Structure 1
């Protein structure tokens, strides 16, 4: 019990030091999401928390990607032809070896949802590449870099676009993280409460962030049966009372995805502990 208390106190003290602004998928509003150019640009802007998503390839590689398939909105075949919507289900990353995944471009077409995004040729990188990029930046500048890593897991996809068990998925990801990053420099987040439960039981030293859209903090506590380090909801459903509730329960609050300076200032005034944004260049804490 004493060791657990020390661990919790250590975790809380370190969390308080994590920079406020998190670059969503690197800086999705400015560069192709979850790409090395996006993560590098975020660091160059002053971001020190890189937020990203991970899935697995057929050969067990941890790939940085929001979807477990090629997204028709911006992905292109190795031939250069655009991926079309009807092809997405056939381009299941969990059924593709990473060498094949890497041949697809995910940046040169840009993204019609983000008009400021720079169109540059790029690919879906390995988690190892992103962590190596961040750690090289840390060694070069002497500035700490943190990582908020989301395991993209859905119960309905078990055994389809991801491993059949949470254990298999989580263990592969965690082994990769530990090759590059110490506990105090990363957060593990997921919408899948089973992932968080497994982490809590197997990796109690890891700080966990419960991702939700509109579910209230009490729902998270009731579902998990323990208190995660962070409650991370869509900003659209977050209220001052919910922030106060979380703080009273010992949870930090980091909403997603806030993209205007005015909204950022509004939630800063409400007392959130961090902000996830596609546009870190708009963040008051940076500019």
Structure 2
């Protein structure tokens, strides 16, 4: 059975990477989520996709230039679906406290080796605090991040995010002892999915928003799909 992950919560149904979005995902019946992390100026894990604040908050500057206390005052409803109430940028800790997901894909964007180490170690601390070590996977397209995760938090599962065809994603995933390969839907050929699974990898596909593609990927045997519309995925594939 193909699992369903809500992309940035329920990005097509509520402002992405906000508490409202993750609550909408859970309300749809989807118990797994994908989200993006950046460190604040004071080293807290903030749930936001872009390095820059502009797209989702309308504010100038970088996430890393502001403290967590400043970031949670910013409204992340820009360039998204209409929403009646302010949606602050959340701390990851807030989501761990308030959202009962069965599994979390925590994506870390490319960053410096120092910040990659700090990020994975901070994730590990939170996972220990909330007893989520077996419910999270650190994912990234960055080799620096995967190297840091393998070296400094080897007890947490890792996943390679891949949207390129000019290198061997299966080989790279195995090099970093990954458990999951997260493929762009453009790369989700049945043969590649089967090769990755034969190598022992869980294959997750993003971003899958069309019912026809959802059904096709399930027929290919994809282990999971990541969608902006978890409610639609449930309606298409049934309860997972």
1 or 2 for the larger relative contact order (CA 8 Å, sep ≥6)?
2
What is the TM-score when the length of structure 2 is the normalising length? 0.89
Secondary structure of the structure 2 residue equivalent to 1:233? strand
Q: 2:66 aligns with which of 61, 77, 96?
A: 96
Structure 2 portions without partners, runs of 5+: none
- Quote the Cα distance in structure 2 between the aligned partners of 1:258 and 1:147: 17
How far the C-alpha of 1:206 sits from its partner, in A, is: 1.7
Contact 2:185/2:206 (<8 A) preserved = yes
- Quote the Cα distance in structure 2 between the aligned partners of 1:286 and 1:118: 27
Q: Which has the larger radius of gyration?
A: 1
Does 1:146 find its partner at 2:94?
no
Deviation string 1:20-73 (CA, Å, 9 cap, x unpaired) is: 00000000000000000110111011010021111111111111111122133x
How far the C-alpha of 1:110 sits from its partner, in A, is: 5.0
How far the C-alpha of 1:267 sits from its partner, in A, is: 0.6
- Quote the Cα distance in structure 2 between the aligned partners of 1:179 and 1:243: 35
Q: Pairwise mapping of residues 48-67 of structure 1 onto structure 2 (< 5 A)?
A: 48-67=31-50
Q: Which moved more, 1:243-252 or 1:208-217?
A: 208-217
Structure 1 portions without partners, runs of 5+: 1-15, 77-82, 136-143
- Quote the Cα distance in structure 2 between the aligned partners of 1:171 and 1:251: 24
Q: 2:196 aligns with which of 231, 239, 246?
A: 246
Deviation string 1:187-225 (CA, Å, 9 cap, x unpaired) is: 111111221122223333222110011247834524762
Deviation string 1:209-245 (CA, Å, 9 cap, x unpaired) is: 1001124783452476244111111011221110111
Secondary structure of the structure 1 residue equivalent to 2:5? strand
Does 1:264 find its partner at 2:234?
no
Does 1:134 find its partner at 2:99?
yes
Q: Which moved more, 1:209-218 or 1:258-267?
A: 209-218
**Cα root mean square deviation, aligned:** 2.2
Deviation string 1:154-176 (CA, Å, 9 cap, x unpaired) is: 3xxx3xxxx74422222122212
How far the C-alpha of 1:286 sits from its partner, in A, is: 3.9
Q: How many residues align?
A: 237
Closer, same or farther in 2 for the Cα pair 1:215/1:231, shift >3 Å? farther
- Quote the Cα distance in structure 2 between the aligned partners of 1:123 and 1:165: 24
